[in-house]
Amino acid sequence: MQARKNFKLVCLALAMTGAFSSASSFAQDLKIALIAGKTGALEAYAKETETGFMMGLEYLTGGKMEINGRKVKVIVKDDQGKPDLGRTMLAEAFGDDKADIAVGTTSSGSAVAMLPVAEEYKKVLIVEPAVADAITGEKWNRYIFRTSRNSTQDGLAGASTIKAGGSIAFLAQDYAFGRDGVKAAKDALGTVGAKAKVVHEEYAAQNTTDFTAAAQRIFDVLKDKPEPRILQIIWSGASPMNKLADMKPERFGITLAPGGNILPIMKNWKTYAGTQGAIYYYYDFPKNKINDWFVAEHNKRYKAPPDFFTAGGFAAASAVYTAISKAKSTDTEKLITAMEGMEFDTPKGKMNFRKEDHQAMQSMYHFKIKKDQKNEWDLLELVREIPASDLPVPLKNKR
């Protein structure tokens, strides 16, 4: 009798120990690595991404910063936009810091360098905000998901704003982002039936400040070509829009077509009312509950509306939150299963990860620079929302 009683006590003790161990494990911090180029040419983008990511987690967790009962710990790392450092930072996050999932990074070159690290550690990396097509194309692996738009989505959106026919030249930065963007834009022109003939491509170093020679080469090629004559600018960081406009391209019948940029840059475009382009996000365009909160709260905290990359950071946070909530785990295989085809809410509205390449399918916006601007940030007028269904992004990962 006593032996049976002792056996029951031992069993109870073991059960309690197991329950305690399980609860203790469950209560461990949920570690998310956020890698961004917080110093260097894209510093402003990186800081916006971090702000948006933290605000997104705050909103989605109701301020508790917990997912599935686990306290969220965000580990922020600066890769300075350098590929070798990005690779090192991600390996450190997965290896030393034991991060459950990672988000990053700002530079496309650095993001491409990070992709094999995710595969090596068999951990999910959500790419935000790098855009190079290769990330969900030839350099992709099954651990990679991307919330940011890619170069082809940019190209298709931009092409959809261009009238059929005419001539087009490109000015872009001479690195992965610029060259990828021009290639995508050229492919997109045929896809959407714009049929504008590409007559020139001009590439300039990222740190270029004098665009006189480049602009003159573009003007010389475009000025005698069939109208409309369009100079499309594909540039990250400080846009050359103003410097090009100061050279009066209109005297040759040339119209500038900028891609959307961050608010501090676009507010310098006020004198170019009527100029049209495409953009990933502008705070006044989406009409939904999340964006209403986002705009109001960001204005309250920072005395300015949320920006292009702030929205991207929020979208990445939503992908993390939705994936872990749906998988009820941070196990990589369970996360991948949950995320393929997963729909999630963002300030732009709903996005979903395409199963084949894990690219977030999403809407874009056709804008026009406003003539009558009521305040510092009243910059753009919505021409139309371009739905994801109008952006036929081809599969490039050969899965």
Q: Which helix (H) or strand (E) holds 345?
A: strand 343-346
Positive or negative torsion for Cα 118, 49, 147, 308: negative
Q: Measured between alpha carbons, how far is 187 from 192 in angstroms, rounded to an integer?
A: 9
Domain boundaries, the chain: 30-149+286-362, 153-279+365-390
User: Which residues are CB-contacts of 211 (< 8 A; sequence separation ≥ 6)?
Assistant: 171, 204, 240, 243, 244, 247
30-149+286-362 matches 153-279+365-390 in fold: yes
Tens of each residue's pLDDT in the chain, 399 residues: 555 555 454 444 445 554 444 443 445 999 999 999 999 888 999 999 999 999 999 999 999 999 999 999 999 999 999 999 999 999 999 999 999 999 999 999 999 999 999 999 999 999 999 999 999 999 999 999 999 999 999 989 988 887 667 899 999 999 878 888 898 888 888 776 557 789 999 999 988 999 999 999 999 999 999 988 989 898 887 778 888 988 999 999 998 888 788 999 898 888 788 888 899 999 999 999 999 999 999 999 999 999 999 999 999 999 999 999 999 999 999 999 999 999 999 999 999 999 999 999 999 999 999 999 999 999 999 999 999 999 999 999 976
The architecture of the domain spanning 153-279+365-390 is 3-Layer(aba) Sandwich (3.40)
| pTM metric for this prediction | 0.87
The amino acid that residue 126 corresponds to is I
By three-state DSSP, how is residue 216 classified? helix
What is the b/e burial string over 233-256, where b = at least 16 CB atoms within 10 angstroms of the residue's CB?
A: bbbbbbbbbebbbebebeebebbb
CATH code 3.40.50.2300 for 30-149+286-362: yes
